[in-house]
Amino acid sequence: MLMTKPTGRLSKEKSPYLLQHANNPVDWFPWGEEAFKKAKAEDKPIFLSIGYSTCHWCHVMEHESFENTEVAGVLNQYFICIKVDREERPDIDAVYMNICQSITGNGGWPLTIFMTSDQKPFYAATYLPKDSRGGMIGLLQLLPEIAHQWKTNRKDLESVGNKIKEILIKQHNASKSSLPTKDLIFHAVKDFKKYFDSTYGGFGIAPKFPAPHNLIFLMNYSVFEKDEACIKIVDKTLSQMYKGGIFDHIGGGFSRYSTDRKWLIPHFEKMLYDNALLAIAYVQIYKITHKPIWEHIVRKTLDYVLCEMTHENGGFYCAQDADSDGEEGKYYSFTPEEIKNYIGENDGEFFCKWFGITNDGNFEGKSIPNLIENPNWENTDERIVNSCRKLYAYRLKRASLRKDDKILTSWNSLMIAAFAKAGYLLNEPKYLQAAEKANTFITENLMNGERLRARWREGEAAYDGKLDDYAFYALALLELYEATFNSTYLQKAIDITDIMLDLFFDSENGGFYLYSSDSEELIDRPKEIYDGAMPSGNSVAAYVLCRLAKLTGEIKWQNASDKQLKFLSGSIEDYPMGYSFALLAIMQMVYPSGELLCVSSDDVPPSLSEFLSSQTLNISVLVKTPKNTKIVENIAPFTREYPIPKNGTAFYFCQNGTCKKPVYNIKDLYDLIR
């Protein structure tokens, strides 16, 4: 079917989500002054709709309502309509999502906001059907009522908007700080154990989200506290997620979340950030346990990203849709007959038995391949591997998935971190090369001088970088440094963090604002701290500051780290389970750590990476060689006192403020740290 060329205002945009709506009969505006001026001039309220291109319910609402001429007629007559891609403008989304959750107690996408021309909201909702049903008011009933209230009861609507703004101000003023302690960590671990689903893994009941940073936190805790129960929680959860249908056993990669307790039926969209964080979690448990299945999962996930989600110049795309041919999950589900017809009766029979594909099906008459009932799930049978390759090729021909090919600095940074860590711990050069190539993409396409841009698509970089862009990119650069010991990555991480402090940090109270001091001003300037599907920018910023303080020994980073951790501790003490990445940062302060300076007469000793990959202790490592002496001494002035030996390597190890005598080979370093 030929696509009609977009003709509306949104046709000039780059966002795939906005372009999807460019031919709607709704007279959409992109976010900007044109819309606000028109609303003020025509004395109309604003209808703001926020979503993203791979959101299933966004598609549903578009088809039901925004493609409907009756709904469009009411919207165009009484409202000025604005469409926002939440992935391009996380600042707008965060402000109004916070308001929606405060008003309704719920959040999600599509996000629906009614507001005045000066951006003050007076009504919020998520998905709304065209006509009222099941207790939900329909747009055709709601829109005329709001239009009527706007004409007859304006003061009350404006009063609601003013009260909402007052509440936001009070929320900011209520922020507090306290010293970070282990009690916060113990409290979170207690809650994770309480809500752990011992049967199917994960926490609570359906729906279940991966939230890999929760598992990374528990893995770190298990190492520090020698808590075997925590590693069992992680093992069970990562096992069940892989066994379920949330993992694409044919093509690799994870879907966004599971709609059921078993991890069987996913919401089928695949997001870049989920796969980045899950790859990090699986490679970390591989480092701890060395079980081959974990390496298999990491490789299948990252190979999927390289195959389907990577731009030719190295950047990573945002997401793949849940729908194909207008049906959610059609791309991923099969019948036994379909399998056997394509790969043969014998191999097909074996494949269907292995992955639980039956005539009854488990999803709308078909089956999603899964290993939930397979006792041999850890066995990567070569016969199955070959069948998966054949079915992958068949699936590509059978249906196609819409892809959101935006390249976001923040999400790319998480994937760079995943590729760097996997390349280092799995000793896989192609993953490290992918990380470095993506970093080059950012430096060449998403930087305007020293400043980051948020989004790139079709040759255009747009929007000022937000906190997540800076914090996540600094984290990626630190992971690249630890994987390569290339000191230019460490210097770049410091440069980016310097800019982040200058543009986003509240130097008086602690905490980082979501958008910079010189960006477009919205009705609120929030400090996002909750670690939801992704870690918050504040949590990652804290983690980066702690790492830089340990690596460089510089008081500047230590002071900023202390202030940020106090801010986070005061903000999260009522519900630390919801802030697991912030707790990872706090762990760096309250648990023992080591600092290692490697001074070499030649280059980085090859045995150093092998040594570090075997360590569970939190060790910060600097490598000083004749080639990088100047940059390392500038980054960490204390290293000036450590001369480069004429031959060989000297290792200087310190722990808990005490430095050991230097040793001169890896064997002695092993003994020293034991």
At 119-142, the pLDDT tens digits run 999 999 999 999 999 888 999 999
- What percent of the chain clears pLDDT 70, i.e. is strictly above it? 98
User: Residue 442 is inside which H or E element, if any?
Assistant: helix 429-445
The Cα–Cα gap between 540 and 213 comes to 11
Percentage of the chain surpassing pLDDT 90? 80
- Strand-pairing partners, residue 448, are 451
Between the CA of residue 154 and those of 46, 48, 78, 102, 253, what are the distances in Å?
Answer: 13, 18, 14, 22, 50
Q: How many Cβ atoms sit within 10 Å of the Cβ of residue 488?
A: 13
| pLDDT mean over 367-393 | 94
Is 50 exceeded by the pLDDT of residue 662?
A: yes
Of 148-157, 208-217, 320-329, 344-353, minimum mean pLDDT range:
320-329
Mean pLDDT of 262-274: 95
Residue ranges per structural domain of the chain = 9-173, 327-402, 594-673
- pLDDT tens string 174-196: 667 788 999 999 999 999 999 99
Antiparallel, parallel or unpaired: β 80-85 and 28-30: parallel
Q: Would you identify the CATH topology of the domain 9-173?
A: Glutaredoxin (3.40.30)
| pLDDT for residue 608 is more than 80 | yes
pLDDT for 173:
62
CA distance 253 to 658: 44
33 pLDDT tier (thresholds 50, 70, 90): very high
What number is the average pLDDT over the span 548-575?
94
- What's the distance, CA 346 to chain centroid? 41
CB neighbour burial string for 296-308, b if at least 16 within 10 angstroms, e if fewer? bbbbbbbebbeeb
What are the strands, taking DSSP E only, across 209-334?
257-258, 266-267, 270-271, 319-320, 323-324, 327-328
Q: Running DSSP on this structure, what letter comes out for residue 132? A: -
Model confidence band, residue 1 (pLDDT cutoffs 50, 70, 90): very low
For residue 118, report the phi and psi dihedrals to the nearest 5 degrees.
-100, 25
